[in-house]
Structure 1
Amino acid sequence: MATYADGVGPWKPYIVPMVGQFDAQGRMLDVNKDGKVNGMDASSGTPTTLIADAHKAGLAIHTWTFRNEARRLAYDYQGNPVNEYLQFYRLGIDGVFSDFPDTAVAARQAYLKELGR
């Protein structure tokens, strides 16, 4: 693929799956009992090897779409979108697509600070 592409842009769950609980009919459960089934009823799963695999193949990797609303975030991000960005930055993502670029930049700055840069 690196012979004809510079990178790949997979959807976030292909990198960090969201894991929920389901009933016998396959419907995700309202774990937090707020009357709505959304990201807050799931946890982030074990990251896949997609970032490492892309880099090994000489490809950059950008993922999409980061948002700030708590309902779009896995429960373990504690309603804070910066926690989601930080996980992806720490995994080695090369770039992100975000509907909230100010949050993406703030999270990136926090990550670089962690690295002492």
Structure 2
Amino acid sequence: MLGIKQIHHIAIIATDYVRSKAFYCDILGFTLQGEVYREERDSWKGDLALNGQYVIELFSFPFPPARPGWPEACGLRHLAFSVDNVDNAIAHLESHGVRCEAVRIDPITGKRFTFFKDPDGLPLELYEQ
């Protein structure tokens, strides 16, 4: 038996580390647990936590390749965060200049959700609990 217990972290590569760190920490509410500059790779690595739990490993690399632009590209489709109230979360994001799509209803669960993007265009979702 493999014995997987939970997701340990999600790794994200940013084109502008400082801008993405501010987005995830100052706008989305993650906390920076630690960061290190890896000179040999000209790369920053930041460990971000949500409610005290390590969640995102934020990297920068010089000249990373662009993410495929079409919505159904193979690979990670999006990263979803649960919220208590999607309308309040949208208002917060939009007050910081982050554009959100129109709210949709999950046809299976009846729950409300919306999509928005991080500074590099990574699709993110807010899913109302």
Same fold (TM over 0.5): no
**Structure in which a larger fraction of residues adopt strand:** 2
Interval containing the TM-score (normalised by the shorter chain): under 0.3
Structure 1 or 2: more helix by fraction: 1
Q: TM-score of the superposition, structure 1-length normalised? A: 0.25
TM-score for the superposition, normalised by structure 2: 0.23
